């Protein structure tokens, strides 16, 4: 079953109303994906038990150092490579089970792929490069293909270059043409592997704006990038370290940690759930756990000098607590933390020993936690005295 529909509607509405999101209501899902390569030196695990969900209409940046597994991950989604084990689903298609012929047809109709080195055919005119996917997949009436290609070139500002060969264009112009070609069959998913890697900053910014516009139209964009400035602008980033995906809440809550320590934290955190109103930390108890909120809200509660309780803060997902006692060498907690009365709270819990290891191994993380602890202690002291 194709991801595409004959009705020209918003991509996100089409994907949802068409009933072709996969079994967990995600457009793209990788489940326990492993990739092992064999070489004369032995086995190399490029991907290690990857779990990743991407929803319709998301703009996701895949980031990580060279050799971390970014491109291998993208190749799993596109079917360019296959997992050694695990599942890859795009819509209702189990990509890893397709034959080569099935894969080519499916990919041509459902994915638009933008490569770092453009990969335009040098002996075809620009407009012919854009028309090529239409010809291969027979997606538009023959008489309309040239007009469709010209509209796509207009969208990327390249209509005046339509009848030139790629060699006559600059790198930025060729990448614009490559994006137009990727959109030739109106795919719901755009995959871009380092699309700005060979472009100057101004041209890279223009490329990024094009991808943003596509997500506004309902397209799902997954982009591998090493450009940290661009990565900060995407709605969501997925960090890969040594073939493993770092927990996204760890990444967002603790940006001062270096990537390798983020991965160590990901391996150590344990999920916990607290019912509405449940106490997570009691004021004055021995501090032994650091918490990152992943769902729901938690109230920070302080007992004033005259005895009554007051809510001094409400913490949301990606915020954390418990660091004050741990930064001060496992001293007593300075406030209580409770699940808000109206919501269940889900957290990632990190034990004191693991937290202290992170402090010891990252001076930047230590300084950041010290600053936060001092600010919270000063704020709580003022409120307690009020």
Structure confidence by residue, pLDDT tens digits, 257-281? 999 999 999 999 999 999 999 999 9
Q: How many domains is the chain partitioned into structurally?
A: 2
Does some domain include residue 251?
no
For 370, the domain range is 262-385
Mean pLDDT of 67-87: 93
Q: Are residues 90 and 226 in the same domain?
A: yes
96-105 long-range contacts, CB within 8 A, separation 24+:
103/79, 105/137
Q: Is the domain of 114 the same as that of 164?
A: yes
The pLDDT of residue 330 is: 55
Q: Which of 183, 211, 245 is the last residue of a domain?
A: 245
Confidence band for 1, pLDDT divided at 50, 70 and 90: very low
Contacts 24+ apart (CB under 8 A), 351-354: 351/268, 351/288, 351/289, 352/287, 352/288, 352/289, 352/290, 352/326, 354/264, 354/265, 354/268
| pLDDT higher than 60, residue 4 | no
The answer to whether residue 224 is domain-embedded is yes
Is 293 in the same domain as 159? Answer: no
170 and 281 belong to one structural domain: no
Q: Closest Cα to residue 93, out of 11, 33, 22?
A: 22
pTM > 0.85: no
Which CATH number do you get for residue 99? 3.40.50.300
Asked whether 324 and 333 are in contact (CB, 8 A), the reply is yes
Burial of 252 (0-12, 13-18, 19+ CB in 10 A): middle
**Cα separation of the two ends of the chain:** 65
Using DSSP, state whether 32 is helix, strand or coil. Answer: strand
The CATH number of residue 371's host domain is 2.60.120.10
231 within some domain: yes
Q: Is 349 helix (H, G, I), strand (E, B) or coil?
A: strand
pLDDT at 172 over 80: yes
**In this structure, are residues 285 and 332 in contact, taking their beta carbons and an 8 Å threshold?**
yes
């Amino acid at each position: 079953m194709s991801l595409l529909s004959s009705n020209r509607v918003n991509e996100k509405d089409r994907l949802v109303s068409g009933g072709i999101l996969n079994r967990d209501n995600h457009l793209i899902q990788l489940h326990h994906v492993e990739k092992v390569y064999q070489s004369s030196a032995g086995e190399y695990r490029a991907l290690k038990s990857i779990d990743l969900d991407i929803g319709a209409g998301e703009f996701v940046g895949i980031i990580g150092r060279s050799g971390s597994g970014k491109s291998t991950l993208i190749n799993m989604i596109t079917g360019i490579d296959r997992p050694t084990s695990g599942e890859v689903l795009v819509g209702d298609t189990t990509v890893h089970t397709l034959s080569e012929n099935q894969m080519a047809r499916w990919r041509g109709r459902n994915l638009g792929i933008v490569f770092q080195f453009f990969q335009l055919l040098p002996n075809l005119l620009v407009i012919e490069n854009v028309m090529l996917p239409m010809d291969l997949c027979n997606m538009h009436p023959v008489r309309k293909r040239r007009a469709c290609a010209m509209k796509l070139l207009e969208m990327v500002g390249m209509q005046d270059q339509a009848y030139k060969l790629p060699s006559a264009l600059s790198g930025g112009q060729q990448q614009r043409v490559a994006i137009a070609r990727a959109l030739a069959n109106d795919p719901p998913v755009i995959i871009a592997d380092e699309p700005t890697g060979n472009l100057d900053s101004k041209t890279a910014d223009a490329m990024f704006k094009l991808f943003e516009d596509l997500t506004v139209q309902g397209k799902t964009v997954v982009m591998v990038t090493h450009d940290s400035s661009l990565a900060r602008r995407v709605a969501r980033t997925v960090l890969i370290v040594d073939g493993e995906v770092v927990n996204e809440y760890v990444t967002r809550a603790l940006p001062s940690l270096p990537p390798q320590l983020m991965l160590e934290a990901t391996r150590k955190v344990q999920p916990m759930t607290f019912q509405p109103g449940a106490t997570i930390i009691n004021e004055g108890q021995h501090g032994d756990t650091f918490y990152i909120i992943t769902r729901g809200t938690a109230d920070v509660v302080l007992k004033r000098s005259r005895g009554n309780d007051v809510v001094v803060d409400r913490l949301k997902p990606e915020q954390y607590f418990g660091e004050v006692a741990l930064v001060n060498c496992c001293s007593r907690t300075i406030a209580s933390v409770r699940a808000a009365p109206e919501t269940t709270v889900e957290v990632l819990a990190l034990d004191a020993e693991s937290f202290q290891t992170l402090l010891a191994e990252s001076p930047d993380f230590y300084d950041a936690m010290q600053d936060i602890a001092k600010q919270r202690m000063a704020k709580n002291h003022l409120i307690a005295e009020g």
